[in-house]
Amino acid sequence: MRRLTTVLAGVCAAALFAVLTVALGSPAVAATLVEVTGFGNNPGNMRMHVYVPEPRPASPAIVVAMHGCGGSGPGFYQGSEFASLADRYGFVVIYPTATQSAGFGNCFDTWSDAAKQRNGGSDPVSIISMIDYVERTYQGDPNRVYATGSSSGGMMTQHMLAVYPDVFKAGASFMGVPFNCFAGASDYPPGSSRCTGGSMDRTPQQWGDAVRQAYPGFSGPRPRMQLWHGTSDTLVPYSLLRESIEQWTNVFGLSQTPTSTDTPQANWSRSRYADPSGTVQVEAYSIQGAGHVLPQSGMARYAIEFFGLTTSQTDTTPPTTPGTPVASDVTATSATLTWTASTDQGGSGLAGYTVYREQGTTDPQLGQSATTSINLTGLSADTQYQVYVRARDGAGNLSGDSAPVTFTTAATGGDTTAPTAPAGLAASGTTATGTSLTWTASTDDTGVTGYEILRAPGATGGTFTQAGTSATTSFTDTGLTANTTYRYQVRARDAAGNVSPVSDTVQITTQAGTTGACSATPTVQSQWGNGYVIQPLTITNTSTSTITSWTVTFTLPAGHTLTGSWNATITTSGQTVTARSVSHNGTLAPGASTTSFGFQASRPSGDTALPSGYTCA
């Protein structure tokens, strides 16, 4: 059984597509767009259309393709290229139709509290029901589910991948915004939105934390993300592409400096962010001169290629069967499994493993892993489990079942008693970037196994989130911002999973730091006939003291005009540009750098000159 997951929706107007008249029915007729009624739980009051190619593979991939505000599923079917690609590569396309409104009609809900909560209701739950329907009716492959969309649908794409990372393999967001960009329905219309008003600027850490908090405790592989934006988009500003890049690179723990850049087509600038193994986890396209008009011809093909679906019909060879799993560290609620790796046989690459429990005619999934081990949690105490592992490749082929392993979780003895709250929480040794915490140990009838350290910003308000864990009664928190107030609490956990009340709160304010020298190093991300993007403009603290702000000046060549910038306050005097740090990137420890600042400029056609005279103070 799939764990139900929540999907999130988007904003901003996109072109209105003509509505295609379709017949009601279930299941859909192959190679015909068909509306499905009664597909399952539908709190968003959405409509569902599905396109099933002919011939249909035995276990097809699933692509959810979402329209912009004011559009419809049939309209997006007619106005995009995903159906024709489905005919060629053999995947099923779901075309949802949104019916909600927050300033625009027919927008995917990415603003409400319900939509931002896993299984909270609204449009995300409706979309998950559509996916479940296709898996049941057409034997859709649950390990190859993808999301894409334009404008509001692009926003929902990023939203869904944040709230349901275990459902989706990858996404392609056209003209979208980062997850949790909208504060509520009143923040949605572009005319009054802080998100799309052109001034949205959060740190990569803040953006990444928003995704991680959408599904607390998720430890599986994250879905890969492809991002598209036009440099002349004024409805959903181009600067939001940088914010989305910051969010998803932070989620993957990657640098915001691309590992490679290229120009796959004229006026397309592509930046790729790969992990140490060389896998591209985040990919961003800047379409020079394009407004709010994506996707354009050929772009859907690049999205499907990013999903890995362009090779799905040629690779039909499954991986080899994994080795017999071995269970260890078995507790009342968890167990660790390890096994010998499978080998890919068809050329599409080994994508990961799925763990199943033998349980009658339907074996439920217990989890997925990208490696040859997994920590299973949420198990029932004093219960026997017989589990096995299957490998899957990039084309969705599944290996045979491994031999099973049987283990029994520990009995808890009915332990439902939480540890006592930690006492005496105190902070010491606070610097500009860190502080040390100590407390008195909690007590418990079965023994305390560790402590969770919670942190909240500011003296009041702000939500406490987990800053780390400790097996002892001390913890050092680092990476804090200078001259900033934080509050801390600690709670204990025992072997049965019981959690104590939180400790008293301790408040600290980091030191202000001192000023020093710095350097500015530009990187040309992309160039085209009459413009260019400098990203990042790396600011490095070259002194031996922490600096709390920086100012960079540089000169634009004659005829060049600054057309956009991000993560700095900009003033110009003639051709001289002055960029000053903002709240989240001004403080740098000795030797530290920030790569968040960048800018875009136009220049006369044929001119190849670039800015010069960079200084930092």
- Integer CA distances (angstroms), 152 to 73, 176, 210, 332, in order: 12, 7, 19, 44
Task: Annotate 29-51 with three-state secondary structure.
Answer: CCCCCEEECCCCCCCCCCEEEEE
Residues 10, 154: contact at Cβ < 8 Å? yes
Which element (helix H / strand E) includes 287? strand 280-287
Residue with tokens 């007729």: 29
Distance from chain centroid for Cα 285? 17
Distances in Å between the Cα of 460 and the Cα atoms of 113, 402, 456, 583 are 22, 53, 9, 19
Is 151 catalytic? The answer is yes
Enter the tokens of residue 37.
């009624």
> How many CA atoms, within 13 angstroms, populate the side-chain half-sphere of residue 325?
30
Query: Distance from CA of residue 30 to its chain's centroid?
Result: 33
Sequence-distant (6+) residues with CB within 8 A of 276 are: none
The number of C-alpha atoms within 13 Å of 307 and in the hemisphere containing its C-beta is 31
Which residue in the list 122, 129, 150, 151 is annotated as catalytic? 151
- Residue pair 610/585 in contact by the 8 Å Cβ criterion: no
Closest residue by Cα to residue 39 from 60, 24, 22, 54: 24
Angular region, 462: left φ>0, alpha ψ -120 to 50, beta rest: left
Rounded-to-integer distance, Cα 349 and Cα 13, Å: 38
Rounded to the nearest 5 degrees, what angle is found at the Cα of 262, between the Cα atoms of 261 and 268? 115
Q: Are 445 and 417 in contact (CB under 8 A)?
A: yes
Query: Is the peptide bond preceding residue 536 cis, with omega within 30 degrees of 0?
Result: yes
| Closest C-alpha to 127, from 73, 85, 170 | 73
CA Rg, the chain, in Å?
A: 26
Tell me how far apart the alpha carbons of residues 289 and 528 are, in angstroms, rounded to a whole number.
10
What's the rounded Cα separation, in Å, for the pair 612 and 601?
13
| Token pair listed for 333 | 């609620």
Q: How far apart are the two ends of the chain, measured CA to CA in Å? A: 58
Distance CA 39, CA 139 (A): 15
Q: How many whole angstroms separate alpha carbon 405 and alpha carbon 340?
A: 13
Report H helices in 439-478: none
Residue of 508, 507, 504, 534 lying closest to 522 (CA atoms): 534
Q: How many CB atoms lie under 10 A from the CB of residue 519?
A: 15
Active-site positions? 151
